[in-house]
Amino acid sequence: MEYIVIVIGAVLVNNIVLAQFLGLCPLFGVSSKISTAAGMGGAVLFVMTVASIVTYLLSNFLLEPFNLMYLQTITYILVISSLVQMVEIILKKVSPPLYQALGIFLPLMTTNCAILGVAILVFQQDLTLLQGVVFAIAHSIGFTLAIILLAGIREHMDLLDIPKGMKGNPIIMVTAGLLALAFMGFAGIV
Amino acid sequence: MVLTLFVVTLVASTSLALIYEVTKEPIRLAALERKNNAIMQVVPEFNNMPNEEEFTIEVPGGELVLYPARMDGELVGVAIETFTRRGYSGTIELMVGLLPDGTIHGIEVLRHAETPGLGDKIETDKSDFYKQFVGRNPGDFTMKLRQDNGEIDGITATTITSRAYCEAVQLAYDVFIEKGDLK
Amino acid sequence: MNQAKNFTKGFVRENPVFILMLGLCPALGTTTSAFNGFGMGMATLFVVLMSNIVVSIFKDFIPNKVRIPSYIVIIASFVTITDLVMEAFMGALHAELGLFIPLIVVNCFVLGRAEAFASKNTLFSSVVDGVGMGLAFTMALTMLGASRELLGANAIFGLQLIEGDGMLVFILAPGAFIALGYLIALMNKLKKD
């Protein structure tokens, strides 16, 4: 039950992108096509989950016992950038087309604040390891959902006649705003 | 190459350790001052040091901290640091001040992450929501929202936050009653 | 290099938020009021300036291959310093900005300045670039915060202009996106003129 609450809360109610404003760079950068968006979601799912586990172990068994919490930010970001590097190497070997498609956004994932944000939140909210893993997976699903929804709308938007001043980024922002408004409807279900 | 990275990291962590040592005391003092201010806001005038007499009580999911306030040795009230994890955006921490008979004397919000413009109206300087609690004894009235058959008017459009707030105050009261005699 | 141009480039032509679309997370997440936007901008300014200085001084000593990790470590250190100092001396603002302070480290805009500018330019140019870009970022956040506060709470910098609540949606998440969308449209217009 507890885990269901975490999942619904993270995916729908407090969606990481649309309600907590984390991971916006990839949201706008890689959402022009559904297929790339889904690929990005998968990569985030992997990195976020593993990063949360590693940072959880590091903070609880190394940083906190030795009173080194002031090194938290630095440690977390180094863990995340190594992981991203690893995913890059694996993807290059396993799925070159996806690697090509994700392009610049793969190395940029190091600076995806969603991943660092979730890792810090897992620690701040005093979650157990298992709760933390569920929390991370749920948040990456929330991220994927938001990015795919936006990509779907953007694919249709190509065919529309949009006022000149609003073309490009402005209309995408407003669309994301309306999406966020729709997600507010989930408030209160947990 | 590896050496450079090592040196960079070493210099960075050493300087951070230094800054940490320098700011440790001000951070502790700032936190203490915030807490003391909250205590002063919620209980009647006292002349002891409540944070030196503090003690904690375990409750499911965490612990409450009780700060007895005394005037010339006589108990005038207790400030209770209470919490709920059922706020709209996670944990809400309150400082609830009770008189020796259990009447609520004051409530301050210590920490919350509720929505600005909506849930943050639980803060004492943002709306009069808290006044519905002050001067009343939770033993004499149902401290719940109207839609939960209680007597509290929730903040418009923030049922979850208002409900969580009631729960946190109730928890403080329950612990106070359970603890019984504090003198 | 023309330093005046270097200083002013960030305000409209290369504005980090409105034109380059960098650092959007803090830009949307912290701008529920003009003051919060300003505070976040200033914290970022400090980090950009300091990391630009350090990167520019040591650019010749850092081998190309470990350049990005080194920059990240440098930035993370200044972020932690900002975090600690703010917690010690600006408790209320620190509590308000919360998670977004440690997240300055992943603000693409900060790493972008180190990589694209400070690693290739002189110390003085990097200082000018850091201050200019930092101020431009602060301006963007303050503008966004002010418009959201004005529409959402009928106030500006905490000063109530009209009684009443305003259009709450602008304080909430959806309004952040919508307000930014219209500000970008406005900036695009200014850029063309």
Interface of B with C (CB under 8 A): 1-2, 4-5, 8-9, 12-13, 15-16, 19-20, 23, 26-27, 30-31, 34, 111, 113, 115-118
Query: HEC states along A109-175?
Result: HHHCHHHHHHHHHHHHCCCCHHHHHHHHHHHHHHHHHHHHHHHHHHHHHCCCCCCHHHCCHHHHHHH
Instruction: Tell me which chain C residue has its CA closest to the CA of residue B5.
Output: C70
Handedness of CA C66, A61, A73, C51 (dihedral sign): negative
B160 and chain A: CB distance < 8 Å anywhere? Answer: yes
Per-residue confidence band for A108, with pLDDT thresholds at 50, 70 and 90: low
Beta-ladder partners of B59: B62
Q: How far apart are the first and last CA of chain C?
A: 24
Q: Distances in Å between the alpha carbon of B27 and those of A90, C93, C140?
A: 44, 14, 30
Count residue pairs from B and C with Cβ separation < 8 A.
65
- Tokens standing for residue B98: 């009770």
- Per DSSP, what are the bridge partners of residue B65? B56, B81
Mean per-residue pLDDT, A9-15:
84
Find, in chain C, the residue whose alpha carbon is nearest to that of A113: C106
Give the tens place of pLDDT for each residue, C155-180: 888 778 887 777 888 888 888 999 99
pLDDT at C1: 59
| Consecutive H or E run containing C39 | helix C34-58
Q: Are C117 and C3 in contact (CB under 8 A)?
A: no
The structural domains of chain B, with segments of one domain joined by +, span 42-179
What distance in Å separates the CA atoms of residue B158 and residue B120, rounded to the nearest whole number?
Answer: 10
User: Which residue on chain B is closest to C71 by alpha carbon?
Assistant: B8
The residue written with tokens 């065919």 in the block is A159
Torsion of Cα atoms, A80 then A85 then A88 then A90, to 10°: -100
C10: Cβ contacts below 8 Å, ≥ 6 apart: C16, C132, C133, C135, C136, C137
Query: Tens of pLDDT along A49-65?
Result: 988 999 999 988 888 88
Position A102 scores a pLDDT of 66
> Could you identify the residue written with the tokens 């503090």?
B54
Over 80: is that where the pLDDT of A111 sits?
no
Q: Which residues fall within 8 angstroms of residue A1, CB to CB, at 6 or more apart?
A: none
Side-chain-side CA neighbours of residue C163 (13 Å): 0
Residue ranges in chain C whose pLDDT is less than 70: 1, 193
Beta bridge partners of B56: B65
Helix (H) / strand (E) element for C24: namely: helix C24-29
Contacts 24+ apart (CB under 8 A), A92-99: A98/A39
Beta carbons of C23 and C107 less than 8 angstroms apart: yes
Under a CB-based contact definition with an 8 Å cutoff, are residues C105 and A73 in contact?
Answer: yes
Measured between alpha carbons, how far is residue A99 from residues A89, A140, A147 in Å?
Answer: 9, 19, 18
Instruction: Tell me which DSSP letter residue C174 carries.
Output: H
**Is there a contact between A71 and B13 if contact means CB atoms under 8 Å apart?**
yes
Distance from the first to the final alpha carbon of chain A: 11
CA distance C9 to chain B (A): 31
Give the mean pLDDT of chain A. Answer: 84
C69 Cβ contact list (under 8 Å, min separation 6):
A78, A81, B5
What local confidence, expressed as pLDDT, does residue B28 receive?
87
Chains near C with 3+ CB pairs less than 8 A apart are A, B
Cβ contact C182–A174 (<8 Å): yes
Position B86 scores a pLDDT of 81
At position B114, the amino acid (one-letter code) is: E
Q: What is the pTM of this model?
A: 0.84
SS3 B62: strand
CA distance C74 to A117: 19
Q: Which of C124, C188, C171 is nearest to C29 (CA)?
A: C171
Contact B15 C70 (CB under 8 A): no
The answer on pLDDT for A153 being more than 70 is yes
- Rounded to the nearest 5 percent, the helix, strand and coil shares of chain B are 40, 25, 30
Length in residues, chain A:
190
Q: Crossing angle, helix A113-124 and helix A34-58, to 10 degrees?
A: 40
Contact list, C109 vs chain A (CB under 8 Å)? none
Provide the residue-wise pLDDT of chain B in tens; the chain has 183 residues.
Answer: 778 888 888 888 888 888 888 888 888 888 888 888 888 888 888 888 887 888 888 888 788 888 888 888 888 888 888 988 888 777 888 898 888 888 889 899 888 877 777 778 888 888 888 888 888 888 888 888 888 888 888 887 788 888 889 988 898 888 888 876 665
What is the distance in angstroms between the CA of the first residue and the CA of the last residue of chain B? 66
Residue type, C149: E
